[in-house]
A = this chain, B = another copy of it.
Amino acid sequence: MISSKEMHNTCHMSDKCIKYNECPMVLVQKILSGKRKIMILWYLSGKILRFNDIKRRLPDVTQKMLTQQLRSLEEDHLIFRNVYPVVPPRVEYGLTELGEKIIPLLEMMHGFGAEYLELNLKNNNDVGMRKTN
């Protein structure tokens, strides 16, 4: 069994990750760096939702942008897309088997976010008020 610390070090460019594109962290960075990816995955955790179900939960997202994010997640095999040939059309999204493996990560994110908020309340900071990343 390789320790977490060892794993960590192998991922630094200057250390053992010969090819940058084979680094697990680079992969995760790419997969998650969409503007709504984390929220979408979170909403799909343990559920299957239709397009508008997701859209309704994401304030200020346009149909075009949401479609893009969903396509991207689908390309990465984290979510599946099921089209029912009925009228009106019915399209369902859910986590793939691979996608489900990210749920513990999402839950830990939630824990971190809660911890962060708690500290934030005490210090009167305001993270959410900035414009971009």
Residues of A at under 8 Å CB distance from B? Answer: 4, 7-8, 11-14, 20-39, 42-43, 45-46, 56-59, 69, 72, 75-77, 98, 101-102, 104-117, 119, 125, 127-128, 130, 132-133
Contact = CB atoms under 8 A, between A and B. Distances in A.
A76 to B, nearest CB: 5
A106 B25 CA distance: 8
Report the 7 A-B pairs with minimum CB-CB distance, sorted nearest first. A24-B113, A34-B133, A28-B113, A24-B114, A29-B38, A13-B57, A27-B113
Contacts of A128: 21, 26-27, 30
Contacts of A72: 130, 132-133
Please state the number of chain copies in the assembly: 2
Contact of A27 (B20, B27, B36, B127): B127
A35 B38 contact: no
Contacts of A111: 7, 24
A111 B106 CA distance: 13
A11 B56 contact: no
